[in-house]
Amino acid sequence: MFEKVLIANRGEVALRIHRACREMGIRTVAVHSEADAKAMHVRLADEAVCIGPSRSSESYLNKSAIISAALLTGADAIHPGFGFLSENADFAEMVESHGITFIGPTAEQMRKMGDKITARQAAIEAGLPVTPGSPSLDTVEDAKTWAQKIGYPVIIKAKDGGGGKGMKIAYDESDIEEAYTMARAEAKASFPSDVVYMEKYLQNPRHIEIQILADKYGNVVHLGERDCSIQRNNQKLIEESPSPALNQAQREEIGEIVRKAIAKIGYFNAGTLEFLFEDGKFYFLEMNTRLQVEHPVTEAVSGIDIVREQIRIASGAALGYEQKDIEFHGHAIECRINAEDPETFAPCPGTITEWHAPGGLGVRVDSEIYSGYSIPPFYDSMIAKLIVHGKTRNSALMRLRRALEEFVIDGVSTTIPLQQEIISQAEFIDGMYNIHWLEEYMRKRNQNL
């Protein structure tokens, strides 16, 4: 097992990794920007190294600075968390080339499954269901030709995209040129490549993802599904497990399909396969070759510490259990608490004047916020995750309602009022929502104001 792990991230995920390491008897190294000098994970880690100025391009995305910090402190492994360099194959390669273990898949696996076009082809070869789609599109004419083959509506996507960027819908041929041009422009501005491709656009799907764990010896398990359909601009706001949209036969079927596909691909460590689900059918979207923001809901229902397993797998340990050993209990729901205006979603950095996290049975808060902490304006606006667990979905909902009422965050605006509103709506209570529900609900509500 590793003696010292460097945490190449910030915020709640850095603290989450620190906690897992400490429970395993592993010392930690926190790296931080100048803006994060007083962050909680920096204060708790065994060692801390400043790796640059506040902007992430000069700190958390600075590969050389992070590796230098690992060498300086004698860290024998690096955990990248999520975001930043977590799916950067070049970084994983650099880490390994310096004799340090990257806690994640290999660079080769990351390139294969992190690239949406090659991942799509790998998914087809591994037997995963996919939507009709195209290879990379070099011209508008290519886009028009493929749209006719696939059938409208279609969605044009950046191959390196994420977070809703580089995605444009074309409902008929008159939309194609603008969708293609805008998708490429967004891709060029936000990602390493402006290459785009096309898929059939499903109009009312759920967003379902399957969590997997795989070791270096070919052993693979899935940890059930998460429903991430409460979204705005493709940004998730609430996630739950299991999905209220699936029956037991459906979840067992897709879980086994995914488990066999991952074994065939030869992937190891933690990963998540994302699907759209419509009319009883699953369609592969992409694979995230890293820890997911919403992993706590899976931990709640499975009882498995995913970060701990990531570290064990990277150290060379076998899983030590099979699919038949995995048991699921109850229902879990997560709210991403963002420092944003709940109506406009504009970021609201500032100083936390009062902080009180909810507690009690079945309530978990992942955050490194504290009273007096100043939220820097340079990073993602998520400041906490509230996770509740109950025996049934209804008991989890009641617990979530109570926990949100108990949550006190003063000094900045947050998304808590909107989340309280969402979970009180009949459609959400009944589990009758899709990926467009939130935006449609807010549009109708604002029209009636």
DSSP sequence for 126-184:
TT--B--B-S-B-SHHHHHHHHHHH-SSEEEEETT--TTTTEEEESSHHHHHHHHHHHH
* Catalytic site residue from 290, 312, 364, 399: 290
The 220-232 sheet, strands edge to edge? 281-288, 269-278, 206-214, 220-232, 235-241, 331-338, 382-390, 363-366
Distance CA 79, CA 87 (A): 11
DSSP sequence for 99-131:
T-EESSS-HHHHHHHHSHHHHHHHHHHTT--B-
Distance CA 209, CA 286 (A): 10
Look up residue 283 and give its two tokens.
Answer: 């369609």
How far from 154 is each of 133, 137, 203, 225, CA to CA, in Å?
9, 13, 10, 26
Residues with Cβ within 8 Å of residue 345, at least 6 apart in sequence: 232, 338, 415
Distance CA 65, CA 433 (A): 44
Q: Which of 290, 264, 293 is nearest to 85 (CA)?
A: 290
- 290 belongs to the catalytic site: yes
Residue 340 has what DSSP assignment?
A: B
Distance CA 249, CA 413 (A): 42
- Answer for the pair 404, 419: CB distance below 8 angstroms, yes or no: yes
Q: Which of 270, 287, 216, 281 is nearest to 246 (CA)?
A: 281
What residue type is 131 in one-letter code? T
Stated as kind and residue range, the H or E segment containing 238 is strand 235-241
Supply the angle between the helices 116-125 and 107-114 in degrees, to the nearest 10: 90
Residues with catalytic function = 290
